[in-house]
Structure 1
Amino acid sequence: MQSYYLIVPLMAGFEWFDEGLQNSLREAGWPHLTRPESMVMMHVQMNIVRPADIARSLRLTRQAVHSTIQTMVKRGIFEMADDPDDGRIRIVQLTAMGDAMRRDARTIVEQLTESLVPRIGADGVAALRAALDADWGTPPLVKLDQKGQGAEEFRRSSNKNP
């Protein structure tokens, strides 16, 4: 399905990578990660290790992220440690198992990326990488004109008494 909205193929591309990664990790004998677990793992790889920061980045509640992290601690993927910058805060760290899983995941993602070359071409992969690596800046706030006043129209219509 083609879409003119860039966000749709971006999400489809992410899901393609995540599905390929998860299937390959399972094939290699690693435990299944849920999408939230996978997202938390990616944040830890980006050195976002404070649960509150992970929650903020994912736009999830702290409770949801803490629950996901605790599940991964019980499974032996993460451990909690004192933050070296603030002893009152606990941070997420990979265990030896988690680090081995991360290394396998990195290899799989590299191979998934290479598998795109015969599918979309080396130039397509390079262009995709360049576009996604570019500094997009802060997301702009888009103000709707009169044609795009759906929220206001909805509020007016929903306030009518039948």
Structure 2
Amino acid sequence: MIMNSDYLIVPLLAGFEWFDESLQMSLREAGWPHLTRPESMVMMHVQMNVVRPADIARSLRLTRQAVHSTINSLVERGVFEMADDPTDGRIRIVQLTPMGRAMRQDAQRIVAELTEELGRRIGAKRVKALREAFGSDWGAPILCSLGEPGGRAADFRQTANKNQ
């Protein structure tokens, strides 16, 4: 359910969760293995050709250990395989197995169907506007300053340190 909020991040997250949960339910219905949210996020990165575990970890802002654990789970279930990076033999990259490629094809069909359904629910013009807005170059992330470095957080850290 989409929540009303003045904060854009709330409906962004709710929309992502609608897509991801609908996709995962549909994949399970088609007989594919259940994917956790982290596994789903790693799969999306591989789909976007981010295949080095360190790059996936950096993009998701997770530890390399967490990403390796997630990748290993997908390797054990036959979705991924590890291969030598053709540009640097010291590095291993993630590749989809034949099963993983078939799962990706089904996922692509499901996402297309979900997009069509979203168009019926909120209107094709709104879906087009979402594509345009999210497909635009937003530029690099920015730093919003709230005043002095450390600001109010420094006060709370000092209080927490005194209480220890």
TM-score (norm 2): 0.92
Which sections of structure 2, spanning at least 5 residues, go unmatched?
Answer: none
Corresponding residue number in structure 1 for 2:60: 58
> Within 5 A, what are the aligned runs for 1:29-40?
29-40=31-42
Distance in 1, matches of 2:95 and 2:154, equals 46
Corresponding residue number in structure 2 for 1:105: 107
Distance in 1, matches of 2:70 and 2:17, equals 19
Corresponding residue number in structure 1 for 2:116: 114
Shift of 1:140: 1.1
1:16 aligns with one of 7, 14, 18 = 18
Q: Deviations over 1:26-58 (max 9, x none)?
A: 011111011111011000000000011111111
Shift of 1:157: 4.3
Give the secondary-structure state (helix, strand or coil) at the position aligned to 1:31.
coil
Shift of 1:118: 1.8
> Within 5 A, what are the aligned runs for 1:20-99?
20-99=22-101
Distance in 1, matches of 2:152 and 2:21, equals 35
Shift of 1:159: 5.5
Distance in 2, matches of 1:74 and 1:156, equals 46
Paired letter, 2:44 = M
Paired letter, 1:30 = W
Distance in 1, matches of 2:86 and 2:131, equals 34
Paired residues, what number?
A: 160
Paired letter, 1:21 = L
- The two structures, once aligned, show a CA RMSD in angstroms of 1.6
Identity, % of aligned positions: 74
TM-score (norm 1): 0.93
1:150 aligns with one of 149, 152, 159 = 152
Q: Deviations over 1:33-88 (max 9, x none)?
A: 11111011000000000011111111111111111111111100000100000001
> Within 5 A, what are the aligned runs for 1:135-146?
135-145=137-147
Corresponding residue number in structure 1 for 2:133: 131
Distance in 2, matches of 1:153 and 1:84, equals 50
Shift of 1:150: 3.2
